[in-house]
Amino acid sequence: MPRSPIRYVLFDLDNTLYPRSSGVLQRIDQRIEEFLRQRFPLPDPELREMRRGYWRKYGTTLGGLVAEHHVAPEEYLRFIHDVPIEELLQPDPALEQLLNAIPAPKGVFTNSIRSHAERVLRALAVERHFGAIYDLGFMGLEAKPHPNAFRGVLADLGLPAEACLFVDDTANNVRAARQLGLRTVQVLDAGDDSDANLEGEFVIPATHLLGEILMYFQFVKA
C-alpha cells in the first residue's frame, strides 16, 4: 500500500537546526546551574544531585522546580534562555538551501520557548521558512516526548500523523513520534557522546544532509 504523502515538516530546534558544536545548549545548561545556585544556597554537587533527581522523577529540571518549589515556569525559562545566541550562531546558507528544497510547509516543534526559537531562527537567517513555532507554552508544559505534545501539534495543523515528517536529534522524541505514526528522521550528531539509540526511520549525521534523502519521501504537490 502506498504511504500517504508528506504535507508538513516539523523540525526540532536545538541541536537540530544548528549543530551541537555551536555550544548553545551548553550555555543554556550553565544558565540552569546558575539559576539553581541563586535559588538554593547549596554546594554544587548537591545541586547536581537535585537536578538528577528531578530528571528521574519529573523528566526535566523545570518539572521538579515547579512541583516542589513553586518556581514560576516563565521566570525560569526566561532566565535559562538568556544566552548570547548571536555570538554562537551565524546565518547558515546551506540550511537555507535545504529549506528551499523541501516542497512542504515547515514548522518548529521545540521544548524551549518561542522567544528563544525566534532568536535562533533569526541568527541562522531562516525565520521566513517557518510558518509556525510550537513551543513549551503551546504544549502547556507537557513537553516532547509526551504523546500529548505531538497530538496537540497535529490537531492544530489539522493533519494525520502520517502526513508529517518529524526531524529531531533526541532518540526519545523520535521514538515517540514514530510510535504515533509520524514519519521520522533522526539527526545523530557525530559530536554526541551519549549512547544515543537509533530510532528514526532514517538517521542522518547532520540536518544539512536531509536533502540527500528527500527522494524517499513523497510530498504533496503545492
Of 4 and 180, which has the nearer Cβ to Mg ion? 180
Q: Any idea which residue has 490537531 for its cell?
A: 155
The CB-of-144 to Mg ion minimum distance in angstroms stands at 9
The CB-of-204 to Mg ion minimum distance in angstroms stands at 14
Of 54 and 109, which has the nearer Cβ to Mg ion? 109
The CB-of-169 to Mg ion minimum distance in angstroms stands at 4
Using CB under 5 A as the criterion, which residues of the chain lie in contact with Mg ion when the complex forms? 12, 14-16, 169
**Rounded Cα–Cα distance for residues 95 and 196 (Å):** 24
Dihedral in degrees, nearest 10, Cα atoms 150, 154, 157, 162: 120
Within 10 angstroms of residue 5's Cβ, the number of other Cβ atoms is 13
Residue 52: name the closest of 61, 42, 44, 43 by CA.
61
Residue 105: name the closest of 10, 205, 191, 208 by CA.
10
Of 12 and 135, which has the nearer Cβ to Mg ion? 12
The CB-of-41 to Mg ion minimum distance in angstroms stands at 32
Of 129 and 144, which has the nearer Cβ to Mg ion? 144
